[in-house]
Each structure stands twice: as structure tokens, then as C-alpha cells.
A and B are shown apart, each in its own frame.
Chain A
Amino acid sequence: MPIGGRKVPPRAVEKETATVASSISGREVELPASWNRMFEPRVLTGTGPDGFDALAGMPGAESLEWCYGCGKCVPVCPVDLVGEYAPRKLHRKVQTGTDLTADSDLWLCTTCGNCLRVCPKEVDMIQIMPAVRESALTSGGTVPGELQDVFEKTFRYGNALGENPRRRAQWARSAGVPVRVLPSDPGPVDVLFYVEDYWSYHPRGQDAARAFARVATALGIDWAILGPEEKTLGDSQRLAGEKGLFDALVEDVTATLAKYEFARIVTPDPHGFNALKKEYPKRGHIFEALHYTQLLAPLVSQVNWAKELDLTVTFHDPCYLGRHNGEYDAPRTLINAIPGVRLVEMGRCRENGYCCGGGGGGMWLDGFTRDLTTERLSERRVREAAQTGAEMLVVCCPYEVSRFEDAAKSTGNGHLKVRDIIELIDEAMGLAADA
């Protein structure tokens, strides 16, 4: 380097690591320095239809081959934002010789459905993923251990957490209102409240379940639960590839439901709701199913509010309530009805809502995906929520409270509180035990 007539030879400094920021996406990637210095391209030699031949034998997986590479799926794929993914890339990997059943990519898709929303060729990951995963499960492909563990727990205990089925209604004891449990108190009921796993067992889910109990009772809803007879509806297990387990659960669940007389099934879990709306009818079991926000939204005018909350909140659309089943308004109706609550939307909301990472089996794969992505989807989402300036992230899916509370802490956004909508309603109605 010439400096005022002096030649100074360049000095090479090798750093231990380097951070590279993309000028396009803004995404930062950390690289060991040696990566920067030399690499040679790997030549593709295996391009061909063979991978698609295999997929053609898995009902539901055919449409991956239809991809014409437009790439519209890539910017809306939540996994691509934290790694190298998206259906377009999967198509190309399969075309160039990757066996999906033996590849870690098979387990990254959360079946959030945002790619299908924008795909001109209707490449349907919601069908492809369970089909190929089922094949991986039955043909000895590579299946993450933590997922196997959840399948076994679900099979053995009827819930993904491996909890004692007899303690499924334990939460109700401290609800502060009597909760009718059908097996011990049979007879017709209007609303069968299908609590599902995380509101039954997870401590933060139980908070929400108790809030629901108080709100439903205060609104005079005639409701009851199945208690120890309830098993998970199993939709996420299905999407994670365990079709056999799902079919067995459908048998068990419908046999239990057949014993009782109820008008409607209401559930807080968008995944269970999706199963009741789309999968149970395919097997001949048709119920009137509602998400709890759909039950309560028409009743907001009857609510006696006890106090103003003075909160700025943002709302996360659950993929399986919103994109998969078209319900965007019921949760917002409830949020906007709560006195003193101001809703600010995140950039990615409603049809374009960003996935929390819990769907399609992702709930049970956080350990597995840790090495394959730069951060959890829930962490990415919490950052977005914090950027709105809201002091609270409001949700209505049982997976999300725990996911986002963890993510708020790990991303340094501990000030961002996470609540289910029902908890806010409970509080504003003055019903909450600690109110």
C-alpha cells in the first residue's frame, strides 16, 4: 500500500470469527475466518427425477415436484429467515439428489402454510410434510429423538407432555368456580370445552384454563370438560408424521365423545380446532367446532367489565386459527373490547402472520432445530413484537405463552409480557384470583 511514497506491504490478519451482514436481507452470519479464505464449489451431479419418484409413492407428497422455482415462498417462509430453507429450496435439493426422509430439513417445516398462500403452483407443504415424515417414520428414516419421545408419550398417556391422564383436570380445582366434569356429572351440555394438553398441564396454560373457567361461568355459558377422559386431538402429531397415532387417537376421542350429549366443541387450541374442522370430518366425524375466541367474540356486549387495563398490546395470529382456518377477527374483537387495551399490529400479521415455530411438531423440536437455525422462530417473533413498542404480546394458542415468554427472556426483551387473551378478559372482568 503506497503511503506518501513509502510502500507498506499488506498485513494479513486472520480473525477467529467474522460476522458477515447481507446487504440485501440484513441477516448477519457468523463465519470462522477459514471459511472466508478458501472454498471450492461442490459440483452437482445427481440432478434428476429419482427423488420425486420416491415422493410420488407417498400420497400427498406429489406436489413438491410441481415447483417451477419462482421463489415466492422464500421471503415468507419463517424458517428461511433463520436459516436456509423454503419449499423452493427443498424442491431443488430433492431434484439434485437429497433424500428428504434422511435429511434434517424434513423436520424444520412448521406447516405454517404461508408458502402455500403465495405459491402459484399450489405446492402444498401441509400435505407434503406429514406424508414424507410418515414415510421417514415407517421406513427407518432419521427421526429426531425428542419427537419420538413425544410420540411415545402421546401413545402411552394421551398427551404430548407425558403427564398422568388422571391429573388432566387438576387445574380446575383452583379455578375459583365449579367446573363440571362430564364423566362424574353426565347429562346434556351446550359447550364441551376441549381443554387440550397445554392448558391442561403446562403451568401457564393452566392459568389460562382457569381464566376461561371464570369467564365462561360469569357469562352464563353452559359448559363442561371431559376431565381424565380427554385425550389430545393429535393434530400436531399428525403433521409431524405420526398418522397412525393420529388415527388411533381419532378412534379413542370419538368413542369418548359418543358417550356424551353436547351441542358444540370449543377448544383453546388452534391445532385441535384444525383437526376437528378438517381431519375428523374426513373420517366421518362431524362436530360443530369453535375456537374459544369464536365462542366469546359474539358475547362481548354482554360482558360486565370491572376495570380498565391501560395496556398497549400487540397480537400474534396463530397459524392454525388464522391462515389455516381463516379466523382473524374473533381474537381482535375480544382484544379491542377490553377496556383500556390498545392494539398495535405487527408488520407480519393476519394472512401474513409469522409462525411461532410450534406448529407441525415444531413445539417438540426446539433442541433439534437449535443447531440448524440462527435462532428460534419464537425469538424472531418476539423481536418483532417488541419493535412495535407494545408492552405486552397477546396470544390465543396454548403453545405460545410458554414459547414467547422463554423467547422474551432469551432475546433480552424481558419487559415484554406475554398473556393469553382470556387472561386479559379475566382480569378486566375482575374475576382473576389475584385481581
Chain B
Amino acid sequence: MSSQTVAVIGGGPGGLRAAHAITEIGGQVVLIEQREFLGGTPIAENYAGLTPSGEPAEPQIRAMIEAVTAHPAADVRLSSQVTALAGEPGAFTLTVAGADGDQTIECGSIVIATGFGHFDPGRETQMYGYYEYPDVITLPDLEAMLKTHTVVRPSNGEPPERICFIQCVGSRDRHIGNEYCSKVCCGVASKEAIEIRQLLPGSKVYIFYIDMRMYGYWENEIYWPAQEKHRVQYVKGMITEVLAKGDRLLVRGEDTTMGRPMELLMDLVVLSVGMEPSAGTRQMAGVLGVAQNRFGFIDAVGGPLDTVSTSRKGIFACGAALGPADLEDTVSSAAAAAMKAFGCVRANATATAG
């Protein structure tokens, strides 16, 4: 461990990709993860399939984990939390609290890969009854069910016949303070809708939206097949409230295409919750002293052509620690951050040798 080492904080897809990238280009890396396992949110939150491909999440993430743990140049610290930073770029000292007490790690540069958390739909102005009705669930709740190939109404264990997704829950909302679009929910909801239609062919699946944001290939890879092949019903118009009616849920909203109110009975309501900075992201910003934007994500200060530099020299960030990001964004920015961080320690080595 030395100033030639890059420290990566966070062992999810972004951190794993960054750590692996550093070993691939001949660097030394120490990967610090607060949980007792690697894999990040996809593993902790029981994701079934990756978006957009729908490939099972666990084997894919496991392969990423093994690429890091099997590499001799990678030092993985689980159940470890960074509590302090000292030193200068090129010679940082991290204090890490782990199972065996406090330790220090010397490193030349740092990559923050502490990711996001799912929006809590019980918060503030959300009135969809998430904590009131067992049959109102979130995207990750449904992911966990899809992982076991059993989609049921939590209230009675029966398979639902009518399922709807409500988009933009916790995103694009000034009241809540999350004015940004969470970017992935349109794709994830559509992917889950396809999976439900495959699992329960007799089901009717609806997606209520303000506008579908299926950028790039997600349009043709998810949205169009969901509609044309899997017969998911897309309805332009948001649900404003969910009311109990008998043992079902009455969703009420405005059909903006028709300019008319709509009321539909559902067996299962899925809230497409957005992304917020994870607790770890907020904590690390404080501990490491890097600037956050007003939403709490790490601020990328380099403008559109440098997406990974933070306000502090020698410290970089990637993935959803920077803001809403899908997996493709995350691994791309992770590799970019790894390259920057490695460049930092190399420049330092050259300077020292000279």
C-alpha cells in the first residue's frame, strides 16, 4: 500500500468496474465496501434482471466481483467504512473503520463509487399509500419478486390480474426537491412489465406516464417490444391517488390524451421510484470534502467533457454517485474515473522518480 495505490470506495457495479479497470492497466487498487458483500444495489436489493437486456443480474454481477477478487493487485476490504481523509493528492491517507478496528490506507488517488438509493415513496407529498396498502409496491419490490419468479399480491398471495406502474415517483418534483429525471425508471418499469406479461400471460399491465423517456436503444429494445409484442398498455396521464376499493385498489388520474378523468381498479400498483444519493454518497462527500450538487449527488465539476472529476484534486467519482445513471452509464464513467485516477498516481510516480 502506497501512494501508487488507487482507493475505490463502493463495491457496486461502478466500484467493481473501476477497480477491475485499474488492475487491467497494471495498477494497484484497494476496494473499500461498507457491506459485508460486494455487488452493490443490484445484489442488496435483489434485482432480477439487468436493464435493458433482462439478463439475470446475479451471475452478471458475480462475474464482475470475481474479476476483482481474483486479481492479485486488488485488495478488497468488506464491512469497512472510510471515516477520515488526510494528506494531499498523490499521498492521501484514508482512515477506515472495519471489523478489526481503525486502519489507515495510503493511496495516491480515490474513486468514489457509492451509488444511489431508491426514493422512499412514503416521503413528503407522495400519496400513493405505499405504507398503507400492501399491494402498493415499488420497482425494487417487484424486482425481488421477479427474482423468485413469483409475482403475487402481497395482501393475499394471489397472482394479480391487473397491474399498473406509476412513473416519476420521487422524480421531476419540486415539492420533493428532486427536480431531475431519474433516467432509468421508464426502462426498468417497461422491462418489469414485459417480465410480468411473460410470467402471467393472462395479466393486464398498464404504465401511466407523463412522457416515456426511453433514450437511445431503449426505445427499440424495451419500449417498442413492450407495447407491440408484450401488449403492455401505455397510458399518457398520471395517477394522482390510489384508493382502497373492496380488496382492490382504485387508481385515479387524468387521461391527458382524452382530457378526461380515469378511474381503474388494480390488483397491484407498482411505484416507479427514482434515484437519490445513497447514504454512503452523502457521507463520503462529507468525509472526503468534495462538493455536492443541491440534490446531494457528488458534483462533477469538469463540465460535459470531464464527467468524473470532483471539486478536490485526486478524487474522482463515477456512476450513480454523480446522479441518476443506468448500468451502461455507470460502467462507462467507472472506466473513465479509473483512467483519471490511475493517471494521477502515474504522474505522481514520474514526478517522484524525477
Contact = CB atoms under 8 A, between A and B. Distances in A.
8 contacts: A41-B260, A43-B262, A44-B263, A47-B206, A65-B228, A66-B224, A68-B227, A121-B224
A47 B264 contact: yes
A95 B233 contact: yes
A88 B234 CA distance: 13
Nearest to B212: A68
B234 A68 contact: yes
B305 interface: no
B257 A52 contact: no
Interface in B252-270: 255, 257-258, 260-264
Size category of the A interface is 10 to 19
Contacts of A49: 204, 231, 233
Contact of A42 (B206, B235, B260): B260
B42 to A, nearest CB: 29
Contacts of A88: 257
Given A49-B233, A66-B228, A68-B227, A44 B262 contact: yes
Contacts of A121: 224
Contacts of A92: 255, 257-258
Contact of A44 (B231, B233, B236, B261): B261
Interface string B64-88: 0000000000000000000000000
Contact of A41 (B204, B235, B236, B261): B261
Q: For the complex, would chain A's binding face be called helix, strand, loop or mixed by DSSP majority? A: loop
Which are the 10 A-B pairs with shortest beta-carbon distances? A44-B262, A43-B261, A66-B228, A92-B257, A44-B260, A49-B233, A41-B260, A43-B263, A49-B231, A69-B236
A49 B234 CA distance: 10
Contacts of B223: 68
Given A66-B228, A68-B234, 13 more contacts: A43-B262, A44-B261, A45-B264, A47-B206, A48-B206, A49-B233, A52-B231, A65-B228, A65-B231, A69-B257, A92-B255, A96-B255, A96-B258
A44 B255 contact: yes
Contacts of B227: 65-66, 68
Nearest to B255: A44
Contacts of A68: 212, 223, 227, 234
Nearest to A44: B262
B253 to A, nearest CB: 10
A86 to B, nearest CB: 12
Interface in A42-95: 42-45, 47-49, 52, 65-66, 68-69, 88, 92, 95
A121 B225 CA distance: 12
A96 B262 CA distance: 10
A41 B228 CA distance: 31
Contacts of B231: 49, 52, 65
B262 A47 contact: yes
Nearest to B214: A68
B251 to A, nearest CB: 10
